[in-house]
Amino acid sequence: MTNVETGKHQYAHHFKSAYHEFDSCKVGMWLFLLQEVLFFAPLFVGYAILRILYPDAFWEASHLLDWKLGALNTIVLITSSLTMALAVNASQRGLKDKSVIYLALTIILALVFLIVKYFEYTHKIHDGLLPASLYSYEGTIHPKTPLFFSIYFMMTGLHGFHILIGIGVLIWIMLRAKRGDFGTDYYTPVEMTGLYWHFVDLVWIYLFPLLYLIR
């Protein structure tokens, strides 16, 4: 909200200063990310347990994933983290145009990630490499291999959903940045989105080796 008289950001009535509000939002965002970690936790625990139980199945299944596409997506996401960080930096310094451009770049990279993921998924679906009860691929030997694909689709699906949410938020933030909502005195939403985006990238940094690189 912008104060009509001063043109500066109007902080909520229960805070003592704009910094007080910003600081509180930041604590809230970190707590949110903490619960996100635990939200993903059951999948990582499930992965660990199933992999310990059936190492051969995971080894076999991992070879059916294309590590090159995974690596490409890793590079795409890490780059998007960079553009996001630059967008936060630009808004902190009040550079409106730069901030909008970096946000747009982040959105484009996120879309590239999803497009690559789309091709990976269609390929898997075509081959019948699907969650356990739908699995119809005939080239695998280990009876537990289908479970890997259950975990694969759940983990990457949940992560992809977070990317999708992120794109929505980024578009909203970009439009606000374009409208001139942010300046040196107020850039909280950009910074919060940045924290979220780095978290989503970080999850992928773990997913990539765990799923694609079992050798």
Which residues sit at the interface with another protein, rule CB under 8 A?
12-15, 20, 23-25, 27-28, 31-32, 34-36, 38-43, 45-46, 49-50, 54, 131-134, 143-144, 146-147, 150-151, 153-154, 158
CA-CA distance, 144 to 131, in Å (whole number)? 11
**Choice between 151 and 177, CB closer to another protein:** 151
CA-CA distance, 204 to 166, in Å (whole number)? 14
φ and ψ of 180, to 5 deg:
90, 30
Classify residue 99 as exposed, middle or buried by CB count within 10 Å of its CB (0-12, 13-18, 19+): buried
Distance of CA 203 to the CA centre of its chain: 7
**Choice between 45 and 213, CB closer to another protein:** 45
* Smallest gap from residue 145 Cβ to another protein (A): 9
* Smallest gap from residue 46 Cβ to another protein (A): 6
Total residues belonging to the chain: 215
**Choice between 20 and 93, CB closer to another protein:** 20
Q: Residue 160: count other Cβ atoms within 10 Å of its Cβ.
A: 18
* Smallest gap from residue 2 Cβ to another protein (A): 17
Q: Which of 6, 29, 46, 7 has its CA nearest to residue 180?
A: 7
**Choice between 68 and 126, CB closer to another protein:** 126
Q: Residue 76: count other Cβ atoms within 10 Å of its Cβ.
A: 20
**Choice between 102 and 187, CB closer to another protein:** 187
**Choice between 13 and 215, CB closer to another protein:** 13
* Smallest gap from residue 45 Cβ to another protein (A): 8
CA-CA distance, 113 to 170, in Å (whole number)? 15
* Smallest gap from residue 38 Cβ to another protein (A): 4
Residue with tokens 């924290």: 195
Structure tokens at 76: 């795409």
* Smallest gap from residue 28 Cβ to another protein (A): 5
